[in-house]
Amino acid sequence: MSDTLSAAARDEILTACQRLSLDYSHYADHGQMDAFSELFGDEGELVVAGVSTVGKAAIHKNLTSAPRGEMQSIHAITNLRLDVVSPTEAKGVVYITAYVAPKKDGVGSAAVIAPMAVGQYEDVYRKTADGWRFARRAFSPLIAAAPAS
């Protein structure tokens, strides 16, 4: 069905979905959880560490249940690959390298700067009355720390 879309319509969808992925990292890293949760549809699903949270209200509640101001996160995303499925759905995969450190004087501080997680997000995007939103975003680890020998 996506082959019936014009190139301009396909580009518009790809741009909107790419922006969602960029906004996800930006809002997470800047502690903007209200804006972060709005990236998901009303029944959108976020899966991290095998835990599924469904609905933007539940996602917001989960993310704001613990203080975030004491930690700094950086989500570095690469290799964003998107496919338009239809005029109202797209799918994608993006690699992520996440760093987290406790803040000292307002800046993340760590003895060794090493990623907390290296993996990928598998995404389903849907067009809603409010624009394009995540219908599902699921994190899967790709590289894990080796056990200490």
Strand segments, DSSP code E, in 29-111 are 40-48, 51-54, 71-86, 89-104, 107-108
Answer for the pair 114, 144: CB distance below 8 angstroms, yes or no. no
> Please, what is the end-to-end C-alpha distance for the chain in angstroms?
53
Q: 2-143: which CATH topology?
A: Nuclear Transport Factor 2; Chain: A, (3.10.450)
**pLDDT tens digit at each of 149 positions of the chain:** 567 899 999 999 999 999 999 999 999 999 899 999 999 999 999 999 899 999 999 999 988 876 666 888 999 999 999 999 999 999 999 999 999 998 888 888 888 889 989 999 999 999 999 999 999 999 999 998 877 77
26 contact partners, CB below 8 Å, separation of at least 6: 32
> What is the C-alpha separation between 25 and 76, in angstroms, rounded?
8
Taking the C-alpha atoms of residue 70 and residue 67, their distance in angstroms, rounded to an integer, is 7
